[in-house]
Amino acid sequence: MKLRQLFDPESSTYSYLIWDTHTREAALIDPVQGQVNRDIQLVRELGLKLKYTLETHVHADHITGSGIIRKALNSIVMVHENSQTKCADVQIKGGDFIPLGAERIDVLYTPGHTDSDISYLIPGAVFTGDSLLIRGCGRTDFQSGDAAMLHNSITQQLFNLPGDTLVYPGHDYMGRCCSTIAEEIAHNPRLGNGKSRKEFIEIMSNLKLAPPKHIHEALPSNLRCGIQGVSTQVGDIG
Ligand SMILES: [Fe+2]
């Protein structure tokens, strides 16, 4: 399996293009709408067949490119079943796996930042979305976030992966590209380095962060795969 890490400077979001080298079937994790032309061009230049766009969750800080990319490349949109994203082609859940040529992508349900977080696992690497960030983690104060649940997801699932597993997060605001599970167990200031569950929950309830700038635009739009004017049931997210 090969991989390219892509970056959106406006939202500090990482997208990831992964593909099976034999069949050239590819998946794009967390595409950003403002970068769809770049991403489509890269897929074409590399001679890949984009089978899927995979969301790690319903994003509050940027609009997904999944709907536009589906139109251009005929890819299948996958999102966790809790997301109420009616525009998705397939609603997935923890324990599922996604075939990619001769390879597979395993779906880990890692909620807590939202109630629809997925981490995608491939041999040697995990794409953690906003569940586990480098030396941090996603906030838990909206979108059905829950600090205790996020602690479970990270310590019981992600921290149980082999220590040399590469961690590719959904964002980084300090220019770091990736980490490893062992590094995060040792150095993550929120829940690594021997921090207790109680300390983690206390840290998370005292972050006092401002809401993301584009949340009111991003959430409803992402429930339509970023496409305007497609009717959907927004439900109670946000
Ligand atoms: Fe997020």
- Please report whether residue 176 resides in a domain: yes
Note whether residue 134 is domain-resident. Answer: yes
- Contact, 6 vs 127, CB < 8 A? no
Structural domain of residue 111, as residue ranges? 2-222
Residues, the chain: 238
Number of domains the chain is built from:
1
Q: What is the pTM of this model?
A: 0.94
Q: Which of 120, 118, 112 is nearest to 141 (CA)?
A: 112
If DSSP codes are grouped into helix, strand and coil, which group holds residue 167?
strand
- Whether residue 234 has pLDDT greater than 60: no
Q: What is the pLDDT of residues 174-212, one digit of tens each?
A: 999 999 999 999 999 999 989 999 999 999 999 999 988
- Which CATH number is 27's domain given? 3.60.15.10
Burial class (CB in 10 A: 0-12, 13-18, 19+), 50: buried
CA 55 to chain centre: 5
Q: What is the mean pLDDT of the chain?
A: 94
Distance 22 CA to ligand 1 centre (A): 33
> Cα(153) to centroid of ligand 1, in Å?
15
State in Å: Cα 99 to ligand 1 middle: 25
235 domain-assigned: no
- Minimal CA–CA distance to 55: which of 9, 100, 91, 3? 91
Does residue 229 form part of some domain? no
pLDDT at 21 over 50: yes
Q: Provide the CB-side half-sphere exposure for 76 (13 A, CA).
A: 12
Collapsing DSSP to helix, strand or coil, 41 comes out as: helix
98 inside domain: yes
Tokens for 135, please give them: 């030396």
pLDDT in tens, 40-74: 999 999 999 999 999 999 999 999 999 999 999 99
CA of 173 to the centre of ligand 1 (A): 13
**What would the pLDDT profile of 64-105 be if each residue is shown by its tens digit?**
999 999 999 999 999 999 998 989 999 999 999 999 999 999
